[in-house]
Chains A and B, each alone.
Chain A
Amino acid sequence: MQRTDEILKIKDLHTAFRINDRYYDAVDGVSLTLKRNEILAIVGESGCGKSTLATSIIGLYDQSKTRVQGEILYKTQNLVSLNEDHLNEIRGSEIGMIFQDPLSSLNPLMRVGDQIEEGLIYHTKLSSEERKKRVLELLQQVGIQNPERVARQFPHQLSGGMRQRVIIAIAISCKPKILIADEPTTALDVTIQAQILDLLLALQQETGAGIILITHDLGVVAEVADRVVVMYAGEIIEEAPVREIFLHPKHPYTRSLFHSIPQMYSSSDRLNVIQGMVPSLTNLPRNGCRFASRIPWIRKEAHEKNPHLHEVAPNHFVRCTCWKEFHFNRGGNT
């Protein structure tokens, strides 16, 4: 039963960028699965490889500068080894993508209706009239009040929230099985963000798609996700169901992050600061626990030599063993 629910399976994915004739892994051995009807949140700070992971799945990387190894299995096909033509058949129809900046991902010279129709032309056999009807249906589905008018408008005539709705309409136009949302609400105001998140949830219940939600906003994750993957320096460092990870975070990085957020309903005077900086791609520590240098007050023996993901509770995975000894460094870090 469980097996059939899995719609995407990533096995040991390495995505490397070429810098000065050497390849550096930005995504370093990531394995994960996405189930039907599930919202999987991928969380991490900038540079942790979360967006790279998304572009690897959908094949939107610069071929000449990127090397992708590993397996991304979708319906028995390995997306990594597919050529551009085959990928084009899947992109947009089976896997939809929602980008962060709604203005720069829409064509400014094309009417909104035509942009939504584009995907239908490529991926469906609908007649021109049926397509027009479907476009209006989609606009209605994403909560746009007067679809006929909006379909004739250009992107610059719409507000940010409306543009993001259009992007979502494009992404779901061919009823994809997988939806990848890369920071879908980061550019929006909180009230609009709440509307867009509610919309995503409603659409998911309707279509049963699996959604990969990439974000750095832990509030958004807490509101909508089912399962959470935390990434740091190209690796998954913790993976758990949403309640588990928010109530019992284990990895030092996850715990530090939670303590860094200024929260509405708690009032500690000082926020936790993670010592040091996120290492850049070219000098990532590739051996041992990658977070070790940022928690130097934890003794070295606490870390594993080759940190693996361990199942510490049902469906709760944590990399390395340092979480057992981790405690916050009170006072001593400025």
Chain B
Amino acid sequence: MSFMVIQDLKVHYPVRGGIFNQVVDYVYAVDGVSMEFESGKAYGLVGESGCGKSTTGKAIVGLEKITSGRVIYEGINVTNKRNNRKSTFNREVQMIFQDAHSSLNPRKRVRDIIAEPIHNFLKLSPKEEERKICELLEIVGMPEDVKYKYPHEFSGGQKQRLGIARAIATNPKLIIADEPVSALDISVQAQILNFMKDIQNEFGLSYLFISHDLGVVKHMCDYISIMYKGRFVETGTKFDIYNNPQHIYTKRLLSAIPQVTPIGRERRKRERIKVENDYREQYKNYFDEKERVLDLIPITSTHNVAALPKGVI
């Protein structure tokens, strides 16, 4: 059962120009994206920079104005209605940002940063609040005395943990994580990823994991959507995408990822060049005349590909 549905989400930015600063064109940042979220599952959103993956995440939590489409949370339409501080949607959908440093207010102490969502959504007495803060710090594996420190006193990995502590303060159902580990070193990244898996199991969280790193997404996610030019080119389970990619763009993306072994690198290079040539030749089979990604069509019950109906095996 899905608790949240996104229907045909579009975010268009107007491009202004001419004498009266009229709207002359639009940038189609997100152009018709649909998703469903089930509890306890992790969803990956993968694409190159500028494909609209972060905009999708921001639009869902309400940090971008949605041009058209609907976000339905537990049967209630919450599209562009984020001003209500007490809504369950605002409480139960939280976000973790890529740059943990700039997402924490440098002039607030850790205690106040974590207390903010508690103030907003939970009615707790000062004592209970204090207890809750300690609890949260314990969950993210940090000692209690960090409460009175400021964000600059922490390392990158620790700051990301504080960002996570803030996100889980209100017992959310869904956490939208926008590149949560791409600014971190490998060993710290491993720490954060393990930890995000732990809290997922413990609290039955769902994730929308936005990343350009297909290795990380494969490690974390059950379902993966590949995005290009504001639209999905392929969606499916982890297995569908990695073992049976259908769209030429997905194949190209997968072949470009460096493998962590020097064995067979000549073969991989030949493969990559072949896929790159295929991409150029078959480009028009997968995009319409305005270079827009085609609509998704199902090929199995979980696997969808943007292609012409007959073009798929």
Most chain B CB within 10 A, of A194, A265, A269, A272, is at A194
A201 to B, closest residue via Cβ: B269
Contact yes or no, B257 A257, CB < 8 A:
no
Residues A246 and B190 in contact in the complex (CB < 8 Å), given A46-B185, A190-B253, A190-B256: no
| Nearest chain B CB to A129 CB, angstrom units | 35
B106 CB within 8 Å of chain A:
no
B136 CB within 8 Å of chain A:
no
Across the interface, which residues of A come within 8 angstroms of B49, CB to CB?
A: 160, 189
Residues A257 and B186 in contact in the complex (CB < 8 Å), given A191-B252, A264-B218: yes
Considering the chains assembled together, what is the distance between the CA atoms of A168 and B258 in angstroms? Answer: 21
A261 CB within 8 Å of chain B:
yes
Question: How many residues on the B side are at the interface (Cβ–Cβ under 8 A)?
Answer: 36
The stretch of A8-16, A29-37, A79-87, A214-222 in contact with B is A214-222
A237 CB within 8 Å of chain B:
no
Residues A260 and B256 in contact in the complex (CB < 8 Å), given A246-B261, A271-B194: no
| Nearest chain A CB to B250 CB, angstrom units | 11
B313 CB within 8 Å of chain A:
no
| Nearest chain B CB to A178 CB, angstrom units | 23
B159 CB within 8 Å of chain A:
no
Contact yes or no, A270 B257, CB < 8 A:
no
Contact yes or no, A261 B215, CB < 8 A:
yes
A89 CB within 8 Å of chain B:
no
Q: Quick one: which of A45, A219, A242, A258 contacts B257, CB cutoff 8 A?
A: A219
- What per-residue 1/0 map shows which CB atoms of A134-176 lie under 8 Å from chain B? 0000000000000000000000000010000000000000000
Contact yes or no, A222 B258, CB < 8 A:
yes
How many A-B Cβ pairs are below 8 Å?
108
Across the interface, which residues of B come within 8 angstroms of A273, CB to CB?
A: 187, 190-191, 194
- What per-residue 1/0 map shows which CB atoms of B257-276 lie under 8 Å from chain A? 11111110100110010000
| Nearest chain B CB to A118 CB, angstrom units | 29
Contact yes or no, A260 B260, CB < 8 A:
no
A193 CB within 8 Å of chain B:
yes
A334 CB within 8 Å of chain B:
yes
Contact yes or no, A190 B212, CB < 8 A:
yes
Considering the chains assembled together, what is the distance between the CA atoms of A223 and B258 in angstroms? Answer: 6
- What per-residue 1/0 map shows which CB atoms of B233-261 lie under 8 Å from chain A? 00000000010000000001101111111
Considering the chains assembled together, what is the distance between the CA atoms of A268 and B49 in angstroms? Answer: 28
Contact yes or no, A218 B260, CB < 8 A:
yes
B134 CB within 8 Å of chain A:
no
Residues A334 and B256 in contact in the complex (CB < 8 Å), given A223-B268, A256-B187, A262-B218: no
Contact yes or no, B215 A191, CB < 8 A:
no
Contact yes or no, A271 B215, CB < 8 A:
no
Across the interface, which residues of A come within 8 angstroms of B212, CB to CB?
A: 189-190
Q: Quick one: which of B189, B220, B255 contacts A260, CB cutoff 8 A?
A: B189
Residues A194 and B219 in contact in the complex (CB < 8 Å), given A262-B193, A270-B194: no
Q: Quick one: which of B155, B255, B260, B268 contacts A261, CB cutoff 8 A?
A: B260
B242 to A, closest residue via Cβ: A264
Across the interface, which residues of A come within 8 angstroms of B187, CB to CB?
A: 45, 256-257, 260, 273-274
Residues A258 and B260 in contact in the complex (CB < 8 Å), given A45-B185, A218-B186: yes
Considering the chains assembled together, what is the distance between the CA atoms of A246 and B219 in angstroms? Answer: 21
A263 CB within 8 Å of chain B:
yes
Considering the chains assembled together, what is the distance between the CA atoms of A270 and B155 in angstroms? Answer: 23
Contact yes or no, B190 A263, CB < 8 A:
no
B309 CB within 8 Å of chain A:
no
Across the interface, which residues of A come within 8 angstroms of B116, CB to CB?
A: none
A133 CB within 8 Å of chain B:
no
Which residues 166-210 of A have a CB within 8 angstroms of B? 189-194, 197-198
Contact yes or no, B252 A277, CB < 8 A:
no
B238 to A, closest residue via Cβ: A267
Which residues 205-249 of A have a CB within 8 angstroms of B? 216-220, 222-225, 242-243, 246-247
A262 to B, closest residue via Cβ: B219
A160 to B, closest residue via Cβ: B49
B189 to A, closest residue via Cβ: A260
Considering the chains assembled together, what is the distance between the CA atoms of A167 and B139 in angstroms? Answer: 45
Residues A198 and B257 in contact in the complex (CB < 8 Å), given A216-B186, A274-B187: no
Considering the chains assembled together, what is the distance between the CA atoms of A260 and B259 in angstroms? Answer: 14
Contact yes or no, A198 B269, CB < 8 A:
yes
B216 CB within 8 Å of chain A:
yes
Across the interface, which residues of B come within 8 angstroms of A224, CB to CB?
A: 265
Which residues 174-210 of B have a CB within 8 angstroms of A? 185-187, 189-191, 193-194, 197
Considering the chains assembled together, what is the distance between the CA atoms of A257 and B220 in angstroms? Answer: 19
B255 to A, closest residue via Cβ: A194
Residues A271 and B48 in contact in the complex (CB < 8 Å), given A191-B252, A194-B272, A263-B215: no
Contact yes or no, B260 A219, CB < 8 A:
yes
Across the interface, which residues of B come within 8 angstroms of A267, CB to CB?
A: 218
Given contacts A190-B212, A258-B260, A262-B216, 12 further A-B contacts (CB under 8 A): A189-B212, A198-B272, A217-B258, A219-B215, A223-B262, A225-B262, A262-B190, A264-B214, A264-B215, A264-B218, A270-B197, A271-B194
29 A–B contacts, CB within 8 A, in A order: A45-B185, A189-B48, A189-B49, A190-B256, A190-B258, A194-B258, A194-B272, A216-B185, A218-B186, A219-B257, A219-B259, A222-B265, A223-B258, A223-B259, A225-B262, A242-B262, A243-B262, A246-B263, A247-B263, A256-B187, A261-B186, A261-B260, A262-B193, A263-B260, A264-B214, A264-B215, A269-B197, A273-B187, A274-B187
Q: Which 5 A-B residue pairings sit nearest by Cβ, starting from the closest? A: A219-B258, A262-B219, A271-B190, A260-B190, A194-B256
